Amino acid sequence: MTLAVSFQDVRDAAARLAGHAHSTPVLTSRTADEQLGARLFFKCENLQRIGAFKFRGGYNAIARLDDAQRRRGVLAFSSGNHAQAIALAARLQGVAATILMPADAPAAKMAATRDYGAEVVTYDRMTQDREALARALASGAVPPPFAPHLTHLLDEAPVPLVVMAVEEAAERSQVPPGRVWRNVAKLAGDLAIHRKALWV
């Protein structure tokens, strides 16, 4: 399968996120390694803004909107982390955000989404169609997904996390990035062939 995201897309996303997303650490655990018989690397995106990696994709997506789209605002649907990510990313970039959330979404996440500045509209997930509601609510707002070829993949895929980790490692150790990437390639080969290394 050919991904719609290139390596340059990932680099561009990293540039847009610079100074806005936290540079989260990559940690290891000898205990976990011993218990699982593998070498584990934990990219701690729980330390990211809003407490999840979703902020990266949300901020990147809104940063790619043109001026006309920004004036229209954005609309998304989510029951938690994506809602908070879009709400905060929109506020930081001066864009109005409306988030469609199920009425039974966790109260803390709904409150956080409102606190980040988004308008929250609730619905009954058992009896209402969120996509139909989103279309009715849009009325000019950029509807979800507003950057389908990049938003989801750059949000969900582990590739940008690995890129960030490699670049951070190169910067800290003063080792040329190319050499670090060769180590990552070897690690990926070990994972595919021997299942002896995992990115978590």
Among the listed residues 54, 139, 186, 196, the single catalytic one is 54
Catalytic status, residue 6: no
Q: Please tell me which residue in 43, 78, 79, 109 is annotated as part of the active site.
A: 79
SS3 for the chain is CCCCCCHHHHHHHHHHHCCCCCCCCEECCHHHHHHHCCEEEEECHHHCHHHCCHHHHHHHHHHCCCHHHHHHCEEEECCCHHHHHHHHHHHHCCCCEEEEEECCCCHHHHHHHHHCCCEEEEECCCCCCHHHHHHHHHCCCECCCCCCCCHHHHHHCCHHHHHHHHHHHHHHHCCCHHHHHHHHHHHHHHHHHHCCEEEC
- The question of whether 54 is a catalytic residue gets the answer yes
Supply the residues annotated as catalytic: 54, 79
